[in-house]
Amino acid sequence: MAANELTTLARLGAVFERTVSVRDQHDLDVVLKDLCAAIAELLGYGAAVVNVYRPAYDDMLTAAAVGSDASVKALVGRASPAETWYPLLAERFERRGAYFVPGDEFDWESLGADTFVPDIEPSDDPNAWTAEDALFVPLHDAKGELIGVISVDEPETGQRPTDDELDALVAIARQAAIALRIAQETATTVQHQRMLEGVLAVSARLAEADDTDEVLQSVCDGIHEALEFDRVVIELADEHSRRLDPVASSGWGADVRSLTDGVSIDQLRPLFTSDFEIAGCYLIPTEVAEERLGRSTPPPHRSEFNGRGPHAWARHWLLVPLDEPEGRRLGVISVDDPRDRLLPTRARLQALRLFANQAVAALQTADRAVRLRHEALHDPLTGLPNRRAFRARLSREAGRTDGDLALILCDMDNLKRVNDQHGHDAGDRALKSLADALRTGLRRSDDAFRIGGDEFAVVLGGASRLDAERVAHRLQRELAAARAAGEDIQASFGIAVREPGEGTDQLVERADRLLYRAKRRRSVA
């Protein structure tokens, strides 16, 4: 029998070798069908079936079969709960690693699952195969976990199996189990490759993107496509309220109603504990999440791609906080509805964390860009826009032909004296107090600028002479209030309203002359 077994395995070798080329479910289905055909041909059975365990549903799916048209049509694609197989794989039916179930020793109706009974003529031979006989060989992985079952029926001999026939079937099943596991792992490896390619694609877009919104949308799309989560949303915390608001999403359409809808980033803190953390992501059972958040009503969205059993997705919460290296939490990525209906593997979660890191990098880049733009256009001491920003604003206002334009120039008269008598720190404090007074006295549409050491400007868009004089009076009152509070500030103002055909340089020169006159009057007084 050893020689026959070797011959059998050799003829199956070509089928098993093809498992390393499996890339997706279609490839696997083709290999399994070829395996059924090889088993049926080599061992002499009219029907052979491969059932594959699906952890997402905790069931057995008839993935491939050969036999009569009626049997193949009735069996392929049918799924039955894993628990219905346990009585068939009971110890009392075990023979040499296989499980032979005599039809007269098992009540098939009590199984609670549909079965196919072939049309076999009854025989008086006590060893004859009957229509309700069944022969199974379980397929286990290296850890001993059940990953499938091979079943054969309608032996060409018409007899129940001998020990030698069982040994041959079990030997083939062992190789088939290895091949099935290799095929599944190869498909998983291909999926992981797609994940990494998705991360790299987002990295490339990150370098080319013109704005943060584009990068964040790319992150959502990458998670949606490469990691195969049907719903993805990035939510950022409002700077003041810390409430989470969606800024990018995939799979939601126009109405984003995520699990965290209406929640602040600080309220999510009870979910981010070590017992739910995997690779920087947090996978939380929905009951635990809702209890920790103190929710008495269900969230606005519930998962649609749920499975059954210990490995299945069951309305879980999967959150990835967006944390800067220094610890500031910017927001969160929420993902839901895995298309395979399984709890994500560590490799999948690691890829998800990489996508989250891309989002953080984009936000940090945007934040740095905002700070650089602010620094380029603002005075670091007072926080007021600087001379460059003043020129830009004045040009914009001057380009509008549908309104008046006024300019107020302000000069701190006593800065040198404050510096000489009290030191430059006191002078800096005085300049900041003057800037604060200018801000407070302005209309909402106006801006104040620091355009030199002790020189300030106020641009009044759409302002008439009367408007400008009213603003100047308010500014003087604010300065008087600051002096009454102990601030040593003295300042002069020059007010100019644009005349027809006058350019911005001429407007500034005229306001400067008027400021100089005001300073002379103060010095004489």
Instruction: Provide the annotated active-site residues.
Output: 454
Q: Strand order in 146-155's β-sheet?
A: 79-81, 59-66, 45-54, 146-155, 134-140, 98-101, 94-95
Question: What's the per-residue H, E or C state across 361-420?
Answer: HHHHHHHHHHHHHHHHHECCCCCCECHHHHHHHHHHHHCCCCCCEEEEEEEECCHHHHHH
- Round to whole Å and give the CA distance between 105 and 87: 12
On whether the CB atoms of residues 219 and 362 are closer than 8 A, the answer is yes
What residues have CB less than 8 Å from 436, skipping those under 6 apart?
482
Give whole-number Cα distances, 524 to 94, 421, 472, in Å.
116, 22, 21
Question: What's the per-residue H, E or C state across 407-423?
Answer: EEEEEECCHHHHHHHHC
Give whole-number Cα distances, 340 to 55, 224, 303, 337, 468, in Å.
10, 13, 13, 9, 68
On whether the CB atoms of residues 212 and 331 are closer than 8 A, the answer is no
What residues have CB less than 8 Å from 445, skipping those under 6 apart?
461, 462
55 secondary structure, DSSP code: T
Element (H, E) at 140: strand 134-140
